[in-house]
Structure 1
Amino acid sequence: MKNKLTAIVGGLLLALLMASMDNTIVSTSIGTIVGEMGGLDKFVWVTTAYMVAEMACMPIFGKLSDMYGRKRFFIFGIIVFMIGSALCGMAQSIVELSFYRAVQGVGAGAMVSITFTILFDVMPPKDRGKMMGAFGAVFGLSSVVGPLLGGYITDHLNWSWIFYINLPLGFIALLLIAAFYKESAAHSRQKIDWAGSVLLIGAVVCFIFGLELGGKTYAWDSLQIIGLFAGFAILAFLLVLIEKKAEEPIISFSLFRSRLYTTSNLVAMLSGAAYMTAAIFIPIYVQGVLGGSASNSGLTLLPMMVGSVVTATLGGFLMTKLQYRTIMIGTLAMLLTGLALLSQITVESTRLSITGIMILIGLGIGASFSVLSTAVLHSFPAAQRGAASATLNFNRSLGMALGITIFGIVQSHSLLSKLTESLGKGDIAVPADLNLSDPHSLLNPALRQSVDPQLLDAITAGLSGSIGSTFAWSVIPAGLALIAAFLMTRDTMDPAAESEEYATAH
């Protein structure tokens, strides 16, 4: 029995790592890919296609797993993900790569939405806490490991191997789950909510593409972006109407009658939005203000990764001893404090001080990956856990996407304002090919050596000030997440109460 559980857990861990890591693994490789294929104007689709497909499919596969069983859809997800990975590695154009990334995203949506549910089903109640901690650590770890691994593989092998590496890992996960996971929970076969599925996919596509393309490919007030957001609003409205009347809705709004479930989803969304500011802007700060290399700036996230692994694991152990809300209040207070400290960074800030703050932020976000994944399943029967877990992962991903977009706009506008103020007198010459509103264009090492020292000082001060201001704004969702944690119920994970259900199912 122990060896069987170990095999299942190993397969689930591999699947979760692959699906989560591929969200970010192309970020450090996209420059090389575009340089080889061309299509600079379409590169945003490479990451957006994966994100849209994954998010749209999470609630669908979560619900289907409740209705027809976890194993078949989890294995389907692994196979589709592997097919998408193989096709990505063979892509000959950015358009092809974007399409194949969407195929990957469909598989990832199935794997991520079902992983925690299978773990909850097969793991004895007394061990669920520590295993949820381990899985939460992997979930948090992947957001940092992805870019680092992608950069290393691109530099030392070929960019296609960031996708091919999924094939042996996926094959191992497939064998382990197929051979050792035996479906045991009862499932009710119901009519598939096709209307809800189509409306959900359409709403997610409109919303995410609106966020990704707005301010980059098209202006925010352009007809295209306004149309995308209008489409989202209409489809979301219709979705709510349809789902309230559906016999077996894809999104079970009845789950939100549970206060613990609702507040856990709210905490996940808000903390995800706040956390992404550190993950995105600290590397930019290190490279653009402190003068670090691209690889060194990425390594700056390692202390945050270590901190998140610590509290994700520790949160899993503490769930049987402390209330969910107590753990979340304590850790989110650290996240809030860390972001508040980052709002004070200047050009004089040291790497040591930044490292200390990053550890604090990691400690602040880690528990959310394990504790919330367990809290949303609390008190729900096996037949509803797939939908419950999938909705949490959807809302966390949505929060992160919103955080990247909203705070990216805040930072860009603040940077342009500060640089316009500094350079407005006309005393400093600005090269015609320098885009002052784009922080990434200001990180080129060659730029730092070629431009006028006064211009470099102005750019450095502008980056520092704008990033500090952005962190000040990110305190708002972090503070709201902390307030939501106070509103969580006083439940704890009770292995004894769940033992009877586990014994009956096994």
Structure 2
Amino acid sequence: MTAESRSAESRTGETMDSPTGTAHPTRPDAPPSRLVILGLLLGIVLATLDGTVVGTALPTIVGDLGGLDHLSWVITAYLLTTAVSTPIWGKLGDLYGHKGSYLTSITVFLIGSVLCGLAQDMGQLIAFRALQGIGAGGLFVGALALIGTLLTPAEAGRAQSLIGVLLPAAMIGGPLVGGFLTDQLDWRWVFYVNVPVGAVALALIGFGVRLRAARVKARIDLAGAGLLTGAILALTLLASWAGATYAWSSPQVIGLALVSAVALAAFVRVERRAPEPVIPPRLFRDRNFSVAQVLSFVTGAAMLAAASYLPQYLQFVRDMSSTESGLLLLPLMLGMMAAQLVIGRRVGDGGHYRGYPIAGGALAAAGALALLTLGTATTAPVTSGLTLVLGVGIGCLMQPTMLITMNSAEPRDMGAATGTQTLLRTIGGSLGVAVLGSVYTGRLTAAVTDRLGAEGARLTGGELTPEALRDLPEPVRHAFRAGVVDGLHGVALGTAVLCAVAFAVSWLVREVPLRGR
């Protein structure tokens, strides 16, 4: 279907049925109110904030519930179920209505949040975090799909620019909010705080959104969902374990890679034959959509890798606290926010979008290479300022990618399209952190061992904290700090390569006019 025919369909506002029974939601006669947009944005805040707010509370949680050996699963269980459920929620919205799917996902998320706060041991907490993650998988994709239904791509630019502001704000604010609630109230309030926010989102969307959708007779693609779940589980475990729990060449990691590859190959085969596939192959027939998904994957990897390992430098080399290291990443996040706000406004006012990802790839690559100038004596303000260019570049990549994804998908596939983009960005981030984390650890270990010998190997093999480093002799501290710098340089080079790939792929974007009302 051409962009012009899709635009004409949007203007009619008629409810239609596809041959396979997919519901086409009716676009409202008037743009949604600001309160409705607020309700959608609150869902995105919940999903993003909950991925980061728990981190600072984990030491207190372990002290209360015990189970230190299962600590990582508090985070891994949430990430696993979020990634697995994201495309399924998107497809459920396409089949049975985005509003109902979104409200259901918020409800599941809130139930999981309350149960997490009531957990009495680590096993219960992990199980309830998994339930919470299932709900979280529908928050982001549900909000984006509703924005794509209620607004045309031309109108959605401004709303999406607000999303670009909320994402980095939640990433920074999560650890700060988690630490405050844990210190001032109790760690259980890290989960309970979701309830009032989610309740407001439920009320705003429940009473503020009016969409009609045809009744459908369609089945969920269970085979495709099962294969996709298996592939995502294997990839997520690979990202969590490779280079940390197991070596990259270990049978466990190789086995996970094989399982994910076989499951993905079988998934593609099944999706080509399924009447209502979880991720419709027809989406990838649009060149812009395919390019946008590659950009989502690469951008997610670059963004999370930089945000994960720059604090290591600030804490170990510059001797800063966790809160201080987070605050010094503000230029990175502010650069992302500013770029997305500007692009959203310019595109919303009828501007072109093709040049932004091209410029973003170049800026992000230059910003990553600028991090190679960091050393053991680099001052904190200079370190903080160097991250600005990288942030602006990543922002110029993220915002057009969302617009292109929505503009390339037909209304009946809006949930599947936004779910695919969210999924690929999540997997890209997980794999980027895992691969570049292995580079970081390898270079750190090699540098410290080269300077200190066997003592250096023992030092990097343990769980050395910034506080413990202060108690070591000066020569040992200097050697370790130099190793951290060397490791960060490896991450910077890897990030620059990812951004260079994004720059090259961005040239394939075609300037297709955004659909109007």
**TM-score normalised by the chain length of structure 2:** 0.90
Structure 1 residues 73 and 10: alpha-carbon distance in aligned structure 2, compared to 1, 3 A threshold: same
Residue of structure 2 in register with 1:502 after alignment: none
After TM superposition, give the deviation of residue 3 of structure 1 in Å: 9.8
Confirm or deny that 1:183 pairs with 2:211.
yes
Name 1:384's counterpart in structure 2: 413
What letter corresponds to residue 267 of structure 1 in structure 2?
L
Given residue 504 of structure 2, which amino acid in structure 1 is its aligned partner? I
Paired with 1:459 and 1:372, the residues of 2 have a C-alpha distance of 39
Q: TM-score, normalised by structure 1?
A: 0.91
Counterparts of residues 97-496 of structure 1 (less than 5 Å): 97-123=125-151, 127-184=155-212, 188-320=216-348, 321-424=350-453, 435-437=459-461, 441-448=463-470, 450-493=471-514
Q: Compare 193-202 and 91-100 and name the one that shifted more.
A: 91-100
Q: Structure 1 counterpart of 2:464, which letter?
A: L
1:155/1:368 CA distance change after superposition, 3 Å: farther
Residue identity opposite 1:257 in structure 2:
R
Contact 1:282 1:300 in 2 (8 A): no
Contact 1:323-1:491 at 8 Å conserved across structures = no
**Which AA in structure 2 matches 1:350?**
T
Between the aligned partners of 2:464 and 2:189, the Cα distance in structure 1 is: 29
Q: How many Å apart are 1:126 and its aligned residue?
A: 5.6
Which residue identity does 1:382 align to in structure 2? P
Tell me the percent identity.
Answer: 33
Residues in 2 aligned to 1:128 and 1:4: alpha-carbon distance in whole angstroms: 11
Deviation at 1:87, TM superposition (A): 0.9
Distance 1:152 1:367 in 2: 32
Partner of 2:39: 11
Helix, strand or coil at the partner of 1:60: helix
Q: CA separation of 1:71/1:261 partners in 2, compared to 1, >3 Å: closer, same or farther?
A: same
Aligned AA (1:27): G
SS in 2 for 1:378: helix
AA aligned to 1:270 is V
**Which residue pairs with 1:498 in the alignment?**
516
Q: Are the aligned partners of 1:79 and 1:107 in contact in 2 as well (CA < 8 Å)?
A: yes
C-alpha displacement of 1:454: 0.8
Paired residues of 1:319 and 1:371 also in contact (CA < 8 A):
no
Report if the CA contact (8 A) 1:325-1:488 is conserved.
yes
Distance in 2 of aligned mates of 1:8 and 1:337? 39
Residues 65 and 114 in structure 1, CA contact (< 8 A), matched pair in contact too: yes
Give, in angstroms, the shift of residue 16 of structure 1. Answer: 0.7
Q: What corresponds to 2:24 in structure 1?
A: none
Q: Which SS does the other structure have where 2:275 is aligned?
A: coil
Asked if the contact 1:120–1:128 (Cα under 8 Å) also holds between the matched residues in 2, the reply is yes
- Structure 1 residue 392, shift from structure 2 partner: 0.5
| Moved segments of 4+, more than 6 Å | none
Instruction: Report the CA distance between 1:186 and its aligned residue.
Output: 5.3
Which residue matches 2:115?
Answer: 87
Question: Would you say the 8 A contact 2:289–2:408 is kept in 1?
Answer: no
Answer whether contact 2:117 2:188 (CA < 8 A) is retained: yes
Partner of 2:26: none
CA contact (8 A) 1:328 1:485 kept: yes
Aligned length: 488
* Deviation digits for residues 42-79 of structure 1 (CA, Å, limit 9, x no counterpart): 11111111111111111111111111111111011000
Q: Secondary structure at the match of 1:307?
A: helix
Query: Which is worse superposed, 463-472 or 163-172?
Result: 463-472
Q: Which runs of 5+ in 2 are unaligned?
A: 1-28
User: What is the match of residue 504 of structure 1?
Assistant: none
What amino acid does structure 1 have at the position aligned with 2:146? I
Extract unaligned runs of 5+ from structure 1.
500-506
Partners of 2:31 and 2:146 in 1: how far apart?
A: 16
| Alignment partners' CA distance in 1, 2:284 and 2:445 | 42
- Alpha-carbon RMSD: 2.1
- SS of 1:491 mapped into structure 2: coil
1:75 aligns with 2:114: no
Distance 1:185 1:361, change over 3 A: farther
Q: Secondary structure at the match of 2:320?
A: coil
Offset at 1:276?
A: 1.6
Cα contact 2:31–2:151 (8 A) shared by 1:
no
Give the CA deviation at 1:492. Answer: 4.2
Report how far residue 340 of structure 1 moved. Answer: 0.6
Q: 415-424 or 138-147, which moves further after superposition? A: 138-147
Give secondary structure in 2 for the equivalent of 1:100.
Answer: helix
Which residue of the partner structure matches residue 50 of structure 2? 22
Q: 1:261, 1:332 → 2: CA distance?
A: 18
1:214 deviates by 2.9
